[in-house]
Copies of this chain bind each other. A is one copy, B any other.
């Protein structure tokens, strides 16, 4: 079955918020064997929503809407969709009492405007909202289906998983299965050269995607069952892993931080961070992963030089002679973080994220990373973006990804330090 997504909301159309719902639904529908060929966004406008429904049903049999179920008068998705099918709205007692309970549990009085959220299309399947006040619903008419979901992702996702996934099973066109082969340190063009011939395959298909400082290959197979799909995928995934040996950090890992935390857990290692220009982004990303408390102990964001000295033990004369953005300061920050925390290793980041440089003449985008286990240290120099609107964000994100990758390489080669590391004391005293 073919499905189209309609995201409803002036806040998306005008660009106030990013549409993350479309991404989530597209992925989960594909997982469940439903093909999404088109996604649309319209404002909270009756006529334009009707036009878009018309359009979607020209090519597809199922439409999923998100957004426009709120209590305010401009929220009209449910009303318009029911009207499109000619179905009247009736007050649903169960939904109304749930909305009342929701406000009671928050010790609030239900505003009268929320009452309209309990008006539901007659004979529709009502989808309970466990995280908010607006129920969703599924309407069917002459072989066409509209599934109406709320806009806030925290409400939409559980409703989709609990109410929609079981419903759509019967429409699955077989199974679409993908594996994402995630790489670090190889560009999209270079990767295409190594595996370019595989991009012409049809089942499975292989497609390359680049994102900041990373590149991934998505291998996708379509088959009658999950087992058949896996049998198609396996040899291709293995072939790619062989060709990209050394660059692959994970298959189906969500991110480099997930792969790194997982590897640190397996090896029983504990790490720490010392950050200047990324200012907590490395520790934030490591701890995005649930259960990371087993592998992460301490992070120091040493934004000011005196904190680098006082908390991390960076030598004042090095800060003065070489500046905060220097090899030796990166090294001392990492060594200092190990000593402060007692972790097995620490990674440090010091650089110029931009858009402006510091008082030295160093270029924006110059970043030093160091990895230390307290005894040895390895420093890496990065040259990232020198200018551009998003250079600060890009430079911080890419620096953090590289720092996390150093921790991954540490775990991989443990108990040895990764190649290129030198004696910590010697390194520092040679400056």
- Residue numbers of A with Cβ under 8 A of B are 7, 10-20, 22-28, 30, 36-43, 48, 51-52, 55, 59, 70-74, 108, 111, 113-114, 130-131, 152-154, 157-158, 161, 178, 180, 187-190, 192-193, 196, 199-200, 207-212, 216, 218, 220, 273, 275, 278-284, 286-288, 290-291, 293, 296-304, 306-307, 310-311, 340-342, 354-356, 385, 388-394, 396
User: Known contacts A131-B388, A154-B394; can you find 7 more A-B pairs with CB under 8 A?
Assistant: A10-B207, A14-B220, A16-B216, A108-B189, A280-B287, A288-B396, A298-B301
User: Using Cβ atoms and an 8 Å threshold, which residues of chain B touch A280?
Assistant: 273, 275, 279-284, 287, 299, 301
Q: Which of B41, B111, B218 is A22 in contact with, Cβ under 8 Å?
A: B41
User: Using Cβ atoms and an 8 Å threshold, which residues of chain B touch A341?
Assistant: 304, 307
Cβ-defined contact, A14 with B30, below 8 A: yes
Residues A211 and B394 in contact in the complex (CB < 8 Å), given A74-B199, A307-B298: no
Cβ-defined contact, B340 with A192, below 8 A: no
- Nearest B residue to A72 via CB reads B192
Cβ-defined contact, B15 with A390, below 8 A: no
- Nearest B residue to A220 via CB reads B14
Closest chain-B Cβ to A37's Cβ sits at a distance in Å of 6
User: Using Cβ atoms and an 8 Å threshold, which residues of chain B touch A273?
Assistant: 280, 301
Closest chain-B Cβ to A275's Cβ sits at a distance in Å of 7
Alpha-carbon distance between A283 and B310 when the two chains are bound, in angstroms? 19
User: Using Cβ atoms and an 8 Å threshold, which residues of chain B touch A393?
Assistant: 288
Residues A311 and B298 in contact in the complex (CB < 8 Å), given A27-B16, A303-B293: yes
Cβ-defined contact, B15 with A26, below 8 A: yes
